[in-house]
Amino acid sequence: MRHIVAFCILLPLSPSVWGQASSAITAPDTSGFQVVKAYPHDGAAFTQGLVYVDGTLYESTGLNGQSSVRRVNLATGKVLQKQSVDPAYFAEGLTEWEGKLIQLTWQSGIGFIYDRTTLRLKGTFNYSGEGWGLTHDGRRLILSDGTATLRFLNPDSFREIGHVVVRDHGNPVQDLNELEFIKGEVYANVWHTNRIARISPATGEVLGWIDLTGLISQRSLPHSEAVLNGIAYDSANDRLFVTGKLWPKLFEIRLSPKTAVPVKH
């Protein structure tokens, strides 16, 4: 049997088979970045969710007793409007859906629905497991829970209607955090890293990585939990924004080949 196995391995492969084998082991592309502009950001904001819609930036901040949903002036970083969350809850991801802001909480299994204009609380909903990041693809809400799984929810009933496991070369990608849906892909912060995964919502496969190492000087951050977390996309002007928990700045960035030299701020 050993000779038969060896013989089979040495048989020449057709060009199409070689192509399949090559693509199967090709690593996803890794993008670097260029800073287009740096904006002020509230350094006391424990950023959990970031949304840019119709020219306005919205932000969800966490920690018990400090959680909130905010409307923020992008240019100045000034908080224009703020709705505090009950101190019993640790707020997490945020997305906009049909004139409403939808906000998760960490371990309470409860979400909040706000009027986008007034930030007035309109209702609540329940879901199972933890809540970390939240976005939508125009049809479904997409929720991360700190694992390698992205869960799809009906935006009206909030019932789970599907899920995918996020994998890179077959390996689950754990600690998926803040999410943003951009041009058919889910962008996901990976907690305690400087990387954003670009994910296929159909298969869960990682299509590429964004390495934001060097985006901000560690000396300007207060402690180890001041990590990259916060992705927002201005679809009207094709602008990508990122920030982090307790970061004093928010950045508009442009993706570039990994060889690009990052600009530190």
Give the rounded distance of the alpha carbon of 26 from its chain centre: 24
Does residue 17 form part of some domain?
A: no
Does residue 14 form part of some domain?
A: no
Which ranges of 41-178 would DSSP assign to H, the alpha helix?
none
**Backbone region of residue 260 per phi and psi (left: phi > 0; alpha: psi in -120 to 50; beta: other values):** beta
Does residue 21 form part of some domain?
A: no
Does residue 215 form part of some domain?
A: yes
Residue 198 has a pLDDT of 98
Q: Which domain holds residue 243?
A: 27-257
pLDDT band (50, 70, 90) for residue 37:
very high
Average confidence (pLDDT) over 161-178 = 98
Residue 103 has a pLDDT of 98
pLDDT band (50, 70, 90) for residue 26:
low
Average confidence (pLDDT) over 168-176 = 97
Q: Sign (positive/negative) of CA torsion 38, 44, 50, 56?
A: negative
Question: Which residues neighbour 157 within 8 Å (Cβ) at sequence distance 6 or greater?
Answer: none
Instruction: Supply the pTM of this predicted model.
Output: 0.87
**C-alpha count within 13 angstroms, C-beta hemisphere, residue 152:** 15
User: What pairs with residue 242 in β-bridges?
Assistant: 231, 251
Residue that wins the pLDDT comparison between 12 and 79: 79
Flag whether pLDDT at 258 surpasses 70. no
Does residue 220 form part of some domain?
A: yes
| pLDDT tens per residue across span 102-125 | 999 999 999 999 999 999 999 999
Domain count, the chain: 1
Does residue 32 form part of some domain?
A: yes
Does residue 8 form part of some domain?
A: no
Does residue 1 form part of some domain?
A: no
CA distance 78 to 244: 16
CATH of the domain at 45: 2.120.10.30
